Amino acid sequence: MVGPSRPQFVLFGSSIVQLSFGNGGWGSSLSEIYSRRADVILRGYYGWNSRRAVQDASVQPSLVIVYFGGNDSMGPHSSGLGPHVPLPEYVENMKKIALHLKSLSKTLRIIFLSCPPVDEVRLLVHSAYFSELVRTNELCKKYSDACITLCKELDIKVVDLYSALQTISDWETACFTDGIHLSAEGSKIVVKEILKVLREATEWSPSLHWKSMPVEFAEDSPYDLVAADGKRTLNPSTWNFHWESQWD
């Protein structure tokens, strides 16, 4: 017995997703926020692009958060190898992912994350380790804009990561660990944007915002810790944890 069935939130994407449970990542923050409410499941694959994503197996959770674009948006390599996916194919792949998820269930909710910017200065340092590494904010923005346009056409919720991460003045150094992957500060922005989408999606029933979801085992129990007066127990589901105020 591991508790009752609960909603599942799947995070599906490339390294921005795979690394989201470390370094104060946005995936681990969501898992903490939704504790006793939903299971946050990690399906992140370092180096993946949208071409590989369309081959993934079916899932039927309550919410799927999809991120692809960073690897796709890299410039093409002269050999024809590498993660680059031409923009038209990227859009078509993302459309296939969206339509596939929509076909699984009428109640499955979807959020896409658009391609974030990068710190081009730090990428120049790392480029010596790769052959013909081309990753620019000009390319990132093209793929981000294409993702946002597609989501509007398909009526899918989308977080504009390209714009959101640039809302703080020192975003190049504050939001990334290596110029590409998110730091704790960058992840905090991602979490806030996701929660904003969930809070404002009033047409989704039931709501998937954490404050609107039922808490497991919310009833009082004689097995909980005993209060100072020695006459009652303290239900943990009613405690205010230190992290809650920052996600209001």
The catalytic residues are 14, 178, 181
Per DSSP, what are the bridge partners of residue 38? none
Which residue in the block uniquely carries the two structure tokens 């909710």? 109
Residues 77 and 133 sit within 8 Å (Cβ to Cβ): no
* Long-range CB contacts (within 8 A, 24+) of 97-100: 97/50, 97/53, 97/54, 97/66, 97/68, 98/66, 98/150, 98/151, 98/154, 98/156, 99/154, 100/54, 100/58
Q: Which residues contact 128 (CB under 8 A, 6 or more apart)?
A: none
- Would you tell me how many other CB atoms lie within 10 Å of the CB of residue 58? 8
